[in-house]
Structure 1
């Protein structure tokens, strides 16, 4: 089972990568740094929350794990 800290760090790193990518997509799609930033931040907050919840749910499911 993963610790909550590990899940949190994984979610933060993944969302930092996503924030940069979404900011670039938003900028190229709109031509505006401000609008691209708002799109990226909104996506990051939603994505972070969903990913963290998803990871915590899966950490409680034993299916598919090998026990040594």
Structure 2
């Protein structure tokens, strides 16, 4: 199953956490290419969304695009 992470929500959480893509990649165990794809609006697996949320310290629901809720 795939889900779409909201671009604005994702950018806001990156800024709130005060980390860059490289740091998030290391924290979440997700490649920088995948993070860049998600940031540009492409969908990702539920597992990837969970890893990104954990890396940012937020629940997955804080990242999900409004059209997917």
**TM-score of the pair, normalised by structure 2:** 0.28
Structure richer in helix, relative to its length: 1
Structure richer in strand, relative to its length: 2
Question: Which gives a bigger RCO, structure 1 or 2 (Cα 8 Å, sep 6+)?
Answer: 2
Pick the structure with greater CA Rg.
1
